[in-house]
C-alpha cells in the first residue's frame, strides 16, 4: 500500500526559505579588521540569490563545481546557499593544505570557478598556474597584490544582478557540496553530500539529544567552513534560526575570548586544540567573561578529561563532545549524560566520544568483520551506516573502507549497551606492546591532567622486546617544569603499570594538521629521521 504523503524533495533551498522567512531578522556576524559586520538571514538569502544569478550568467550550470577558498564569513555563507541551491556543487577548499594537495583536489573535482578571500590571494597564488579547469576566479575583498592575474570582483559581480533568482526543484539525491578528507596519508579523498543528506543532518543537529541548535542560540563558528561544512552548523543555522558569529582569521585564544565577551554566543564549535588555547588565555585573566555560553561543542579529536573539568569548574560550562568524520557529514554521536546521572558521574559520560544519534547506526567488528558485543568492554573497529554517511569516495574505488553497506571508520574502541562510544585510538595510532593494546588517547588524556603539561601526544615506536612501546611527547606550560620521572610517577597511579612510557620527549609544540588536530604522522616521521630527541627511563 502506498502512503498518501506528498513527495516533497529534501532540498537545501527548502532550509534556506525557512530561515529566510521564519527567522528573517536573525543575524550573521562577521568579525573584520574594521569591526563587526552584520546582516540578517533575509539579507544573506537575498544576496545569495544575486550571487546565483551572476554565477548563472557567468556560465555555471547544474552539476558544475564551484570552489570556495575562504575564511568563515558572510560571503562564504552566501556561497553555501547560492551554489547548491542553484543546482551546482560547492567545493569547500581547505586553505591550509600544501599547494600540491590543494592543486590535486581542485583538479580532481574539476572546479570551474573559485571564490577566493582577498587575504588568502598570496596562498592561492601558489596553485594558480596548476589548475587548468578553473576558468574564473572571483575575489572577495580588496587585493592590491595582483598575484592572481585576472579576477572578478565579488561585490561588483553579485550586485550586478537583482535578487529573486528562483531556486530550481532538484533531485534530492543530487550533489550539493563536497569536501575532501584532510588525508594524513596519501591523497585526500572527496566526499559528496547530497541535498537530502544535508537536510537530514541539519534536522538531526537540532535535536536535543544531539547538539540541539535552536533559535535561542547564537553560535560562534570556530570550526572552519572547509572542515565538513563547519560540522553542518551553517545549514543548521537557517534550519533552526541559530545566529552565526563568523570569526574569519581571528582564531587565537585571545581573539576568541574577546569575541565571546562582546558578541555573547550561547554555543561554540571547535576542535580541542582551540579550547585548550582558550583555557590558557583565561588562566590569568580574571575579567574573562564566558558567561553567555550554555555549552561548547568539542570534537574531531578526543577531548581530554582535564579540559572538560576546567570548563565546568572555572566557568560552569558544559563541554559537549561529538564524534564524526568527513565521511559522516560529520555528526554521528554526541556525548550528553543520560537523564538521572548524578553530577559527579556526568563527566564519565562527557569524556566518551558520544552516544549514537538517531538516524545513524554504529557497530563494532573484529579484524574478520564479525560483529562484536556492545558491552562497554569489547574493543574493535567502529562501522557506521545511515543517510548522511558516505557510501563511496568521489571518483576513486576504496573497497577496503566499506563492508557490507557499512563504512569502516578506522577508529578503534568499545560501545556500551546504551550506545555510548569510547574511542581508544585511530587504527594507525594503536600501540601494540607485547601483544596487548595501549591506548595513546588514554595516555594523552591522562598526562594532560598534570598541571605542568600544556599538550601531550603519544606515538608508538619500535621496541626490541615488546615490538612497540609508547613515546610520550610533552609540551610544558610556560614557566612550568617537570621531569620525565615525575610525569611517569604521576601516570603510575592512573594507568596500568605496563602502559607506563619509558621514552619521553620534551617538545615545543605538538604539530597540528590542517584542521588543528594533533599530527602524529609528523612526530613519527621525526622519530624515524632521528630528529626527535628523547630520554629513556629505566
Ligand atoms: P575528519 O574527517 O578530519 O573530521 O576526522 C575524523 C576522525 O577524527 C575520526 O575518524 C576520529 O579518528 C577523529 N575524531 C573525531 N571526533 C572524535 C572524538 N570525539 N574523539 C576521538 N576522535 C575523534
Instruction: Determine the distance separating the centroid of ligand 1 and the alpha carbon of 299, expressed in angstroms.
Output: 7
- Mark whether 327 is an active-site residue: yes
Ligand 1 atom with the smallest distance to the CA of 515 is 3
Bridging pattern class, strands 331-335 and 406-415: unpaired
Grid coordinates of 340 = 538521572
Residue 521 annotated among the catalytic residues of the structure: no
Nearest CA to ligand 1 atom 10: 325
Q: How far is the CA of 372 from the centre of ligand 1 (A)?
A: 21
Atom of ligand 1 minimally distant from the CA of 426: 12
So what's the pLDDT on residue 493? 94
Which residue in the list 126, 254, 365, 437 is annotated as catalytic?
437
Q: What is the pLDDT of residue 184?
A: 59
**Ligand 1 mean position, distance from CA 158 (Å):** 37
Residues contacting ligand 1 via CB (< 6 Å): 181-182, 228, 299-302, 321, 323, 325-326, 330, 353, 409-411, 423, 426, 515
The per-residue pLDDT for 444 is 96
Going through 169-231 in order, the beta strands assigned E by DSSP cover 175-180, 190-194, 218-221
The domains located in the chain, with CATH, are: 7-250 (3.40.50.12780), 352-426 (2.30.38.10), 431-536 (3.30.300.30)
* pLDDT at residue 427 in the model: 87
432 is an active site residue: yes
Q: Strand pairing partners for 371?
A: 365
Flag residues of the chain having pLDDT under 50. none
CB 195 within 8 A of CB 176: yes
What's the helix, strand, coil split of the chain in %, to 5? 30, 25, 40
Protein residue with its CA nearest to atom 5 in ligand 1: 325
Which residue out of 432, 485, 535, 536 is catalytically annotated? 432
From the CA of 301, how far away is ligand 1's center (Å)? 5
Helical H runs in 224-342?
228-231, 233-240, 253-263, 272-283, 305-315
CA atoms within a 13 Å half-sphere pointing along the CA-CB vector of 220: 31
* 437-453 pLDDT, tens digit each: 999 999 999 999 999 99
Q: What is the pLDDT at residue 432?
A: 92
pLDDT value for 182 = 75
Amino acid at each position: 500500500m502506498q502512503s498518501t504523503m506528498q513527495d516533497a524533495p529534501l532540498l537545501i533551498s527548502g532550509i534556506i526559505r525557512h530561515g529566510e522567512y521564519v527567522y528573517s531578522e536573525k543575524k550573521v556576524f562577521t568579525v573584520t579588521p574594521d569591526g563587526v559586520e552584520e546582516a540578517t538571514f533575509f539579507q544573506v538569502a537575498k544576496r545569495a540569490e544575486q550571487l546565483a544569478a551572476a554565477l548563472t550568467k557567468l556560465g555555471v550550470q547544474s552539476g558544475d563545481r564551484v570552489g570556495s577558498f575562504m575564511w568563515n564569513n558572510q560571503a562564504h555563507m552566501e556561497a553555501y546557499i547560492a551554489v547548491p541551491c542553484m543546482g551546482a556543487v560547492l567545493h569547500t577548499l581547505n586553505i591550509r593544505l600544501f599547494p600540491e594537495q590543494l592543486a590535486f583536489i581542485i583538479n580532481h573535482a574539476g572546479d570551474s570557478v573559485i571564490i577566493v578571500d582577498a587575504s588568502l590571494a598570496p596562498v592561492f597564488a601558489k596553485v594558480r598556474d596548476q589548475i587548468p579547469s578553473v576558468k574564473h576566479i572571483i575575489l572577495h575583498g580588496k587585493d592590491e597584490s595582483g598575484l592572481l592575474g585576472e579576477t572578478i570582483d565579488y561585490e561588483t559581480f553579485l550586485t550586478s544582478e537583482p535578487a529573486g533568482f528562483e531556486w530550481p526543484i532538484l533531485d534530492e539525491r543530487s550533489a550539493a557540496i563536497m569536501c575532501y578528507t584532510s588525508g594524513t596519508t596519501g591523497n585526500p579523498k572527496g566526499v559528496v553530500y547530497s541535498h537530502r543528506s544535508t537536510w537530514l543532518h541539519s534536522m538531526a543537529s537540532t535535536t536535543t539529544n544531539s547538539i540541539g541548535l535552536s533559535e535561542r542560540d547564537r553560535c560562534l563558528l570556530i570550526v572552519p567552513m572547509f572542515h565538513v561544512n563547519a560540522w553542518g552548523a551553517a545549514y543548521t543555522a537557517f534550519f533552526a534560526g541559530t545566529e552565526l558569529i563568523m570569526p574569519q582569521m581571528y582564531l587565537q585564544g585571545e581573539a576568541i575570548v574577546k569575541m565571546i565577551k562582546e558578541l555573547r554566543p550561547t554555543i561554540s564549535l571547535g576542535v580541542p586544540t582551540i579550547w585548550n588555547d582558550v583555557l590558557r588565555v583565561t588562566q590569568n585573566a580574571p575579567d574573562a567573561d564566558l558567561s553567555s555560553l550554555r555549552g561548547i561543542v568539542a570534537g574531531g579529536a578526543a577531548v581530554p578529561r582535564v579540559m572538560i573539568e576546567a570548563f565546568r569548574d572555572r566557568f560552569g560550562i558544559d563541554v559537549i563532545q561529538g564524534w564524526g568524520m568527513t565521511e559522516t557529514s560529520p555528526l554521528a554521536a554526541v556525548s550528553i549524560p543520560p537523564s538521572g546521572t548524578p553530577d559527579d558521574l556526568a563527566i564519565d559520560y562527557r569524556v566518551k566520544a558520544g552516544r549514537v544519534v538517531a538516524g545513524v547506526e554504529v557497530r563494532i567488528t573484529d579484524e574478520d568483520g564479525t560483529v562484536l558485543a556492545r558491552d562497554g568492554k569489547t574493543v574493535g573497529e567502529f562501522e557506521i551506516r545511515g543517510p548522511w554517511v558516505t557510501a563511496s569516495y568521489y571518483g576513486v574505488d576504496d573497497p577496503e573502507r566499506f563492508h557490507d553497506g557499512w563504512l569502516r571508520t578506522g577508529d578503534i574502541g568499545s560501545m556500551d549497551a546504551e550506545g555510548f562510544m569510547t574511542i581508544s585510538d585511530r587504527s594507525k595510532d594503536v600501540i601494540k606492546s607485547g601483544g596487548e593494546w595501549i591506548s595513546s588517547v588514554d595516555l594523552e588524556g591522562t598526562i594532560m591532567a598534570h598541571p605542568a603539561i600544556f599538550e601531550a601526544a603519544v606515538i608508538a615506536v619500535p621496541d626490541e622486546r615488546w615490538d612497540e612501546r609508547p613515546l610520550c611527547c610533552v609540551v610544558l606550560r610556560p614557566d612550568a617544569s617537570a621531569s620525565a620521572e615525575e610525569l611517569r610517577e604521576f601516570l603510575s597511579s592512573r594507568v596500568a603499570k605496563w602502559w607506563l612510557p619509558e621514552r619521553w620527549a620534551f617538545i615545543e609544540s605538538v604539530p597540528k594538521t590542517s584542521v588543528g588536530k594533533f599530527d602524529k604522522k609528523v612526530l613519527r616521521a621525526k622519530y624515524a629521521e632521528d630528529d626527535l630527541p628523547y630520554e629513556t627511563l629505566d
